[in-house]
Amino acid sequence: MMKRFFKKHGWRYIPGFLFLLISSYITTLAPIALGHAIDYMDMDVALIDQSKVYRQAFYIILIAIGVFITRYIWRYFIIGNSRFLENFLREELFVKLENLPVSFLSKQRSGDLMAYAVNDVGAVRMTFGQVIAMSVSGLSTAVMAIYSMVTKVDPKLTLLALLPVPVAVFVIVKLGGIVRRKFRYVQSLFSELSGEVNETIMGVQVIKSFAKEEERLDEFSDISKTMYDANVNLADTSSLIWPSISVIFGLCYAIGLIVGGHMVLAGKLSLGALVTFNGSLLLVQQPVMSLGRIINMLQRGLASYKRLQVILNQPGIPEKEMEDAQEPVGGDIDIKDLTFRYPETENNALDHISLHLPKGATLGVVGPTGSGKTTLMHLLLKMYPVPERSVYIGGTDITEIPAKAVREQAGFVPQDGFLFSASVRDNIKFYQPGATDEDMVRAAKLASVHDDIASFPDGYDTQVGERGTHLSGGQKQRIALARALIRNPQLLILDDTLSAVDNHTEQQILTRLSDYYDGKTTVIVSHRLSAVKHAQEIIFIKDGQIAERGTHDQLMAQNGLYAQMYLQQEEGGDCDEKK
């Protein structure tokens, strides 16, 4: 991954580092020029050559301009390149999340995934931008400054003044390790806090309907208080670094002034040279004091990079599964002794399922909650790895057909009717961006939602809100159905899609679909048996197995599980239909 980035953008670091080194060298010239100016003025007034003093002042101005230009250039290349990296990583992460199997994403908290895309990517960007720049700049400036102190001033004075510096480095490294551990804890709390906020927003209607705002606020406050304490604790440790380094370098300056002062009084050192020495010592102090920040950001970046690697190195959906079909996918669906178990579970979700669904027929799938109905639908769409030689479409093992090819020929409508935060038009045309308005209206009419949309103030341009919060449950489901119908799929799968609509509307939709989709395969999963009553075959799944199968009349004649459920729903008014 990083190799691809550096292959494309790595060259930008070369001019960046070149101008950074030039900038560091120019910076070290300022104390020398100032020292020369002091020496020119450290004599009788009558002997002072003002032109030499002015010349040094002019040099200092040129040095400032040179530092400005070179710093702008190296920041443009190095810091600018880190922004390219940030964009690259974010796109890589987004593509990876799209390509990860449902089985992996279902185990992740949305707060963690948001932290990856925001905090972790940002921390890696800082590492490959500011951390690299500060490290190279600080090291080169310190080395050049020490070289200037040794050659332009005095080696012995330089050695004595720099004796406390290793202590400063030790303090920074020690405190940096503590900061790293505390930062990791803060990162984990950020993920938890983000997940709490996201979950609250998504479930705001449930929270309000049960008047649980205060309880939810208390839970959020607890997490927020924990994160506050952790951040304060982190700040307490981080705040020790700068004062500690200031004290240690105060000792360096004291040694320089005492020893250097004696040398000036003894005539072994000029006053200007001592000023040059102190100015160069300041250039050494700055990178050492930045060392704590560098280590802190470096550790954050490395920790974040490892977190990103966990996601980016996850085995995604094989490229073969994303290939287009060589020819249209369709035909009879045959399921032969299908047994499936979710990873990390002990029991089979589906156990020895076998059935034959002719092309153009309608299959009804019913059964109690958790019996495996949705699992069967997900396997038909290759949402999970399908066992070989267990599912065939048009006589071809589904494992030999790319998942993209299967899904492009199917229209799947889940129960939750997920909608994007966009207009009704954009949601219906999601599968078919190039679809015409006529296609959109026809699909909406088939889903019996056109009249509802026409009554909206902005019609098809009405914004549905996040996850469709501006719509009723039935409207969301029907718009989701229209979204599937607009692509004119060869296989239509309705997974309890009409659970939020009334019986009359349900029968109206099913009647329209039976007329319009004559010759195309339909699978209807429903807890309301009236929705599958007219299917050519109905299977009743219990505990992952087909307990009963047949037409509606055959199943009623058996007086088994299906008949009992139908009679219960009929008594409760759930099986009423339009006569």
Q: Summarize pLDDT for 375-402 with one digit per residue, the tens.
A: 999 899 888 888 899 999 988 898 888 8
Contact 248, 289 (CB under 8 A): no
CA atoms within 13 A on the CB side of 475: 19
Average pLDDT of span 295-306: 81
Q: Nearest Cα to 307, choosing from 129, 125, 113, 132? A: 113
Rounded to an integer, what distance in angstroms lies between the CA atom of residue 480 and that of residue 462?
15
Q: What is the pLDDT of residue 415?
A: 78
Q: What is the pLDDT of residue 558?
A: 92
Contact 124, 187 (CB under 8 A): no
- Using CA of residue 432, residue 434, residue 439, residue 445, what is the dihedral sign? positive
Q: How many CB atoms lie within 10 A of CB 483?
A: 27
Query: What own/partner pairs with CB < 8 Å and gap ≥ 24 does 185-189 have?
Result: 185/230, 186/227, 186/230, 186/231, 186/234, 187/115, 187/119, 187/120, 187/303, 187/304, 187/307, 189/223, 189/226, 189/227, 189/230
Residue 7 is given by DSSP the state H
- Domains of the chain in sequence order: 2-312 (1.20.1560.10), 319-409+522-579 (3.40.50.300)
Whether pTM > 0.75 for this model: the answer is: no
Q: What is the pLDDT of residue 576?
A: 44
User: Greater confidence, 579 or 41?
Assistant: 41
3-state helix vs strand vs coil in the chain, percent to 5: 65, 10, 25
Contact 538, 562 (CB under 8 A): yes
Contact 489, 431 (CB under 8 A): no
Q: Inform me whether the pLDDT recorded for 412 exceeds 90.
A: no
Q: Which amino acid is at 366?
A: V
**pLDDT band, very low/low/confident/very high, at 43 (cuts 50, 70, 90):** low
**In this predicted model, what pLDDT tens digit does every residue of 245-257 receive, in sequence order?**
888 888 998 999 9
Rounded to an integer, what distance in angstroms lies between the CA atom of residue 476 and that of residue 456?
14
Contact 505, 449 (CB under 8 A): no
Q: What is the pLDDT of residue 366?
A: 93
Q: Nearest Cα to 297, choosing from 158, 461, 129, 127? A: 127
Q: How many CB atoms lie within 10 A of CB 239?
A: 11
Tell me whether residue 284 is exposed, middle or buried, using C-beta atoms within 10 angstroms of its C-beta: 0 to 12, 13 to 18, 19 or more.
Answer: buried
**In this predicted model, what pLDDT tens digit does every residue of 172-202 receive, in sequence order?**
778 877 877 887 788 778 777 877 787 787 6
Q: Inform me whether the pLDDT recorded for 577 exceeds 60.
A: no
Average pLDDT of span 105-113: 70
Rounded to an integer, what distance in angstroms lies between the CA atom of residue 565 and that of residue 450?
33
Q: What is the pLDDT of residue 363?
A: 92
Q: Inform me whether the pLDDT recorded for 538 exceeds 90.
A: yes
Q: What is the pLDDT of residue 47?
A: 64
**In this predicted model, what pLDDT tens digit does every residue of 5-36 receive, in sequence order?**
888 888 999 999 999 999 999 999 999 999 88
Rounded to an integer, what distance in angstroms lies between the CA atom of residue 80 and that of residue 199?
35
Rounded to an integer, what distance in angstroms lies between the CA atom of residue 216 and that of residue 207?
8
Residue 577 is given by DSSP the state -
